[in-house]
Structure 1
Amino acid sequence: MADAQPTPMSSAKPAGATGVLVLANGDVIWGRGFGAEGSAVGEVCFHTAMTGYQEVLTDPSFAGQMICFTFPHIGNVGANPDDIEADDPHALGIIVREDVTEPSSFRAVEGLDGWMKRHARIGLSGIDTRALTRRIRVAGAPNGVIAHAANGEFDVAALLAMAQAWPGLEGMDLAKQVSTEMHYGWGDQAPGGTWRLGFGYGESSAAGQASETASAARPHVVAIDYGSKRNIFRNLVEAGANVSVVPATASFEQVMALAPDGIFLSNGPGDPAATGEYAVPVIRQLLETGKPLFGICLGHQLLGLAVGATTTKMFQGHRGANHPVKRLSDGAVEITSMNHGFAVERDSLPANVRETHVSLFDGSNAGLELTDKPAFSVQYHPEASPGPQDSLYLFERFVTALRPTEGN
């Protein structure tokens, strides 16, 4: 399919157009703008989730990208302060088929249009999202500019120059831009546990939460934040851990000064090889301590780099909440949430690394574990925000490994 030529999408400006998407190849796609006015340049990708657009928009892994949603009805449940993975959106903007309507949900506190205006993010509706998605599938994720002007006036030539000048995500380290700038305890910043209808966020329901003594006995996870989603920390707490978060640039000494029982490597945006320039040496030192280590998404790629594997930019990436992954240990299939544009090359895995999961969409690597150290990682998002919850067991597996065995 990669050899086929994408159908050109350029069109004359229709009456009433207040938004435009200009791709680096010269395609100009007109629509109706909503959210904030202005322009933004980045990579255009597509996302197949039918729900959870607010979680998607606030996922730090989407820094530098604008999202074409394949589901046509986006915005119909509005926005609320609970369904966020970071304080602000990190996606540059969204491209949707149908106009955003007034919300129809008892949980909504504002409409998506107003929420995006408040957070300075651009939306574009009235787009043939099926055609754009097919173009990305055929030709790969393009660079582009999304723009919104209420008066409908655009300098298309200038927008095209912006799209063509943008260097692309390959070689770009974005983790530093989205990471926390200081160490903090997760429960100090936000409620620790997962969300429940009628209760919101609260303390973990894991055994031992009721007493301070039991809480103090929880294993301590130090999470290196390369652009983590909040629900990852919530699920670590739910599984029974206390969590401390440190910046992406934290040194080995800074991590170890917190006396971790285990180390977590988070998801995040950008090219893992670029982030790996400062992250990989630290991860290699952490592996030598023998402490259990768990990585997700970018953290998975960085663990792969740390043990000697290589990563490459994917043709179109994996982004959605319906991705089937085969668990090689028993052949079970997990339906997973994914958001990544880079992958670990299977053929580059060294002898002491075992592949644990593979994507059933394209056969790419989706998990690994070391055979000589207590470290494992997955390419997908087991925290399921948004997405299915087939893989929550991974948090329990990790936290269980941190607890001393009986008699020790």
Structure 2
Amino acid sequence: MTRIPAKLLLSNGMSFSGYSFGHTGSVSGEVVFNTAMTGYPESLTDPSYRGQILVLTYPLIGNYGVPDTISEAGLPAFFESDQIHISGLVISSYSEQYSHWNAGRSLASWLGEHSIPAIEGIDTRALTQVIREHGAMTGKIIVDGEEVNWRNPNSENLVAEVSTKEVIRYGNGRYRILLVDLGVKYNIIRHFLKRDTTVIRVPWDYDFTGLEYDGLFLSNGPGDPKKCEATIRHLQRQLTHPKPVFGICLGNQLMALASGADTFKLRYGHRSHNQPVLQAGTNKALVTSQNHGFAIDSKTLGSEWEEWFINLNDGTNEGIRHRELPHFSVQFHPEASSGPTDTEYLFDEFLSEVGRFSGR
């Protein structure tokens, strides 16, 4: 592999030198880090990373390659969407040699196919310390001296970029779940389909208030939740109705905003497979997969709502629920992919409420 010089330039003036692999081009975005040891095919295709330059702290990346694209039930079997969503990738050491039972290509060739720049040879743990101390910031991957303009993706409506543009129906189960696509991970749809449901996937700004369905689901997604004004407006009307509502990640934040609470940007976000959360009022702790840069301000929750889960590392909100109606949401990812499956039972809790409401 030809080693082409590249550097990562941060908006605070710091720079890190390395070598390009993947697409030989420059890019700008928000620089964030993920401490997971595995799961880069899933992370790179997660729409929640839209507009971000992803730093992986695990030192060896690429050694198990990338799966071939195989479809199951109309969805790619091993990816979380139909494309790579990160703007760029930063790693310590790239492994050209790869070996895995379902590997079909190298990470570098996959990145090249999707025109995603990447840089290796960076001390990603030192870089992570910088981000933790100074907060998430914009940056550039500059390859072979090619300059690009600075980009702050949080000033954009990223959800509008990643959401479906049409209504899509999956499965033919007894429960009709209306899924508002804010940048949904496909493993969420897979979890619903294996639980005897019909999933009706609609765009982020779709007016769902007059549709027939048994339960409403709000997906994960990228960027500032306050950019989703249309979703919040539609959700405000729905939250007065007893029909069950469940949200994950961005869906958690939108549930709060629709109820009148506030959200804020975290200093550097939560992106890993090992985030411990506590169920409020209990001694029940769970290990979760997370990927978000914003959070709910719990102090602004109305009297009809209560905090459901709390992050044990920094005390931030990890979920809310209505005190009387079957409306609840979580900040972490119970569908995992990749990550721990401790909280997968929440899909069953939601569908139990759906069954009670629908009478089926």
Normalised by the length of structure 2, the TM-score is: 0.94
* 1:309–1:405 Cα change, 3 Å: closer
CA distance in 1, matches of 2:179, 2:33: 29
Calculate percent identity across the aligned residue pairs.
40
Question: Could you tell me whether the CA contact under 8 Å between 2:261 and 2:297 is conserved in 1?
Answer: yes
Which among 315, 335, 348 is matched to residue 267 of structure 2? 315
- What secondary structure, in the 3-state scheme, does the structure 2 residue paired with 1:337 have? strand
Question: Could you tell me whether the CA contact under 8 Å between 2:63 and 2:95 is conserved in 1?
Answer: yes
Which among 186, 190, 203 is matched to residue 170 of structure 2? 186
The structure having more radius of gyration, on CA atoms, is 1
Post-superposition offset of 1:89: 0.5
User: Is residue 2:15 matched to residue 1:28?
Assistant: yes
Which among 128, 131, 136 is matched to residue 133 of structure 1? 128
CA distance in 2, matches of 1:369, 1:240: 24
**Which structure: greater strand fraction?**
2
CA distance in 2, matches of 1:99, 1:354: 45
- What secondary structure, in the 3-state scheme, does the structure 2 residue paired with 1:145 have? strand
* 1:406–1:22 Cα change, 3 Å: closer
User: Is residue 2:354 matched to residue 1:367?
Assistant: no
User: Is residue 2:193 matched to residue 1:237?
Assistant: yes
Post-superposition offset of 1:240: 2.9
Q: Which residue of 2 aligns with 1:202?
A: none
* 1:225–1:154 Cα change, 3 Å: same
- What secondary structure, in the 3-state scheme, does the structure 1 residue paired with 2:66 have? coil
What does the per-residue CA deviation read over 1:176-234, in whole Å, with 9 as the maximum and x for residues that have no partner?
100000001124xxxxxxxxxxxxxxxxxxxxxxxxxxx55x21100000000000111
Q: Which residue of 2 aligns with 1:106?
A: 101
User: Is residue 2:173 matched to residue 1:250?
Assistant: no
CA distance in 1, matches of 2:152, 2:20: 25
Moved more, 237-246 or 386-395: 237-246
CA distance in 2, matches of 1:397, 1:330: 18
CA distance in 1, matches of 2:341, 2:115: 31
CA distance in 1, matches of 2:132, 2:345: 32
What does the per-residue CA deviation read over 1:145-192, in whole Å, with 9 as the maximum and x for residues that have no partner?
1133xxxx305xx45xx23xx3451x43210100000001124xxxxx
Question: Could you tell me whether the CA contact under 8 Å between 1:17 and 1:30 is conserved in 2?
Answer: no
Post-superposition offset of 1:29: 1.3
- What secondary structure, in the 3-state scheme, does the structure 2 residue paired with 1:175 have? helix
Which among 42, 46, 52 is matched to residue 55 of structure 1? 42
Which AA in structure 1 matches 2:82?
D
CA distance in 1, matches of 2:356, 2:346: 18
Size of the aligned set, in residue pairs, is 351
Within 5 Å, which residues of 2 pair with 1:292-371?
A: 292-371=244-323
Structure 2 gap ranges (5+): 70-76
Question: Could you tell me whether the CA contact under 8 Å between 1:240 and 1:399 is conserved in 2?
Answer: no
Q: Which residue of 2 aligns with 1:282?
A: 234
Post-superposition offset of 1:405: 7.4
User: Is residue 2:57 matched to residue 1:70?
Assistant: yes
CA distance in 2, matches of 1:235, 1:103: 30
User: Is residue 2:28 matched to residue 1:41?
Assistant: yes
Which AA in structure 1 matches 2:224?
D
* 1:167–1:51 Cα change, 3 Å: closer
CA distance in 1, matches of 2:41, 2:317: 28
CA distance in 2, matches of 1:394, 1:56: 22
User: Is residue 2:110 matched to residue 1:154?
Assistant: no
Which AA in structure 2 matches 1:24?
S
User: Is residue 2:91 matched to residue 1:96?
Assistant: yes
Aligned CA RMSD, in angstroms, stands at 1.8
Q: Which residue of 1 aligns with 2:74?
A: none
Q: Which residue of 2 aligns with 1:220?
A: 176
CA distance in 2, matches of 1:66, 1:351: 39
CA distance in 2, matches of 1:186, 1:66: 32
* 1:323–1:407 Cα change, 3 Å: closer
Post-superposition offset of 1:111: 0.6
Normalised by the length of structure 1, the TM-score is: 0.83
Question: Could you tell me whether the CA contact under 8 Å between 1:19 and 1:147 is conserved in 2?
Answer: yes
CA distance in 1, matches of 2:24, 2:358: 60
Post-superposition offset of 1:330: 2.9
Post-superposition offset of 1:238: 2.2
Which AA in structure 2 matches 1:177?
E
CA distance in 1, matches of 2:296, 2:356: 32
Structure 1 gap ranges (5+): 1-15, 188-214
* 1:17–1:30 Cα change, 3 Å: farther
Within 5 Å, which residues of 2 pair with 1:396-407?
A: 396-404=348-356
Question: Could you tell me whether the CA contact under 8 Å between 2:276 and 2:285 is conserved in 1?
Answer: yes
Question: Could you tell me whether the CA contact under 8 Å between 1:100 and 1:113 is conserved in 2?
Answer: no
Which AA in structure 1 matches 2:31?
V
Post-superposition offset of 1:25: 1.7
Question: Could you tell me whether the CA contact under 8 Å between 1:78 and 1:112 is conserved in 2?
Answer: yes
